[in-house]
Amino acid sequence: MTAAPNRPRYFALIPAAGVGARMEAGSPKQYLPIAGKPMLRHALDAFLASPLIAHTYVVVSAEDGQIDAVVPGQGAASGVTVLRCGGATRMETILNALQALHGSIAAHDQVLVHDAARPGLTPALIATLIAEVADHPAGGLLALPVVDTVKRAGQNSLSAQTVPRDHLWLAQTPQMFSYALLHRALSQAPDPQAITDDASAVEALGLAPRLVEGHPRNLKVTLPRDIHTAELYLANP
Asked if the structure places residue 4 within a domain, the reply is: no
User: From CA 11, how far away is CA 196, in angstroms rounded?
Assistant: 21
Number of domains in the chain: 1
pLDDT category of residue 21 using cuts at 50, 70 and 90: very low
Asked if the structure places residue 189 within a domain, the reply is: yes
Tell which residue, 220, 219, 177, has the closest CA to residue 198: 177
127: pLDDT strictly greater than 80: yes
23: pLDDT strictly greater than 90: no
24: pLDDT strictly greater than 60: no
Under a CB-based contact definition with an 8 Å cutoff, are residues 211 and 167 in contact? no
Residues forming beta bridges with residue 175, ordered by sequence position: 113, 141
Task: For residue range 58-81, list pLDDT tens digits in order.
Answer: 999 999 999 999 999 888 889 999
Asked if the structure places residue 166 within a domain, the reply is: yes
Under a CB-based contact definition with an 8 Å cutoff, are residues 126 and 112 in contact? yes
Mean residue pLDDT across the chain: 93
Specify the pLDDT at position 194: 82
> What domain range includes position 48?
10-234
Asked if the structure places residue 2 within a domain, the reply is: no
Asked if the structure places residue 1 within a domain, the reply is: no
Under a CB-based contact definition with an 8 Å cutoff, are residues 75 and 81 in contact? yes
Asked if the structure places residue 17 within a domain, the reply is: yes
Task: For residue range 153-163, list pLDDT tens digits in order.
Answer: 999 999 999 99
Specify the pLDDT at position 2: 53
Specify the pLDDT at position 26: 59
Task: For residue range 32-42, list pLDDT tens digits in order.
Answer: 999 999 999 99
CATH number at residue 212: 3.90.550.10
Asked if the structure places residue 5 within a domain, the reply is: no
8: pLDDT strictly greater than 70: yes
Asked if the structure places residue 3 within a domain, the reply is: no
User: From CA 236, how far away is CA 200, in angstroms rounded?
Assistant: 32
223: pLDDT strictly greater than 70: yes
Residue 203 CB burial class (10 angstroms; 0-12, 13-18, ≥19): middle
Task: For residue range 150-196, list pLDDT tens digits in order.
Answer: 999 999 999 999 999 999 999 999 999 999 999 999 999 988 788 89
6: pLDDT strictly greater than 90: no
Phi-psi region of 222 (alpha: psi -120 to 50; beta: other; left: phi over 0): alpha
